[in-house]
Structure 1
Amino acid sequence: MEDNLTSAVDKNTIQLVSQFFKAISDPTRISIVFLLHDRELSVGDIATALDMNQSAISHQLSTLKAKRLVKPRRSGKTVYYSLDDDHVLKILDQVITHTREEC
């Protein structure tokens, strides 16, 4: 069975995959991704939904943005965030499915 996993994976790709998992390894960042699954939200909206302060949310969004998992859109003084694409949701869905199978 030939697929992406059976082909040789170079060290750079392995490093990038590791960085991706580091970026989503924090519970707050995973929560942010789920909040953004079907809509864009401001830092304040996310902070309210997660009962956290805006500074902490901004820090987490900065990590997600650096790995191109979320993207910002400015409207006046407010910055709204959305998922950069749906790949991260597909990956998290697979992890959730795997985790539930183990229980």
Structure 2
Amino acid sequence: MNQKDTCEIYCYDEEKVNRIQGELQKQDISSVAQLFKALADENRAKIAFSLCQDGELCVCDVANIIGTSIATASHHLRTLHKQGIVKYRKEGKLAFYSLDDEHIKQLILIALSHENEVKVNV
């Protein structure tokens, strides 16, 4: 283990720790983790990004964009829907998906912006 990336002695700020633990207990961090877990799959991240580019896509569009079968695209879309990331509507025999709200779009665009900064600063 690299000794430069860890404390060399055990010492913590009890007031700060207690305050943050109190704030942590007020939040539903588990839901946040589940949101990021759903987006951690590359194909689901591609779907979310695609929906940032165009407000609404049918399952067939999504399958073609990410290069998978309709069944695989549907599976990913169902997972995203269960996590509240996307919503859908039926029009005849077609199912159209869109991002659930603007916050999801912001998360995707902020993550991409961060990644571009990391690449520049490396």
Partner of 1:65: 81
| Moved beyond 6 Å, runs of 4+ | none
Structure 2 length as normaliser, TM-score?
0.73
Q: Greater relative contact order (Cα 8 A, min sep 6): structure 1 or 2?
A: 1
Distance in 2 (CA, whole Å) between partners of 1:78 and 1:97 is: 33
Structure 1 Cα separation of the partners of residues 26 and 71 of structure 2:
35
Give the superposition deviation at 1:97: 2.0
Q: What's the TM-score, normalizing by structure 1?
A: 0.85
Give the percent of matched residue pairs that are identical in Structure 1 and Structure 2. Answer: 37
List aligned pairs for 1:1-103, cutoff 5 A. 8-10=23-25, 13-37=28-52, 38-103=54-119
Larger of the two Rg values belongs to structure: 2
Root mean square deviation, CA, Å:
1.8
Long gaps (5+) in structure 2: 1-19
Structure with the higher helix share, 1 or 2: 2
Q: CA deviation at 1:9?
A: 2.2
CA distance in 2: counterparts of 1:43 and 1:79, whole angstroms = 6
How far apart are the structure 1 equivalents of 2:31 and 2:70? 28
Paired residues in the alignment total: 98
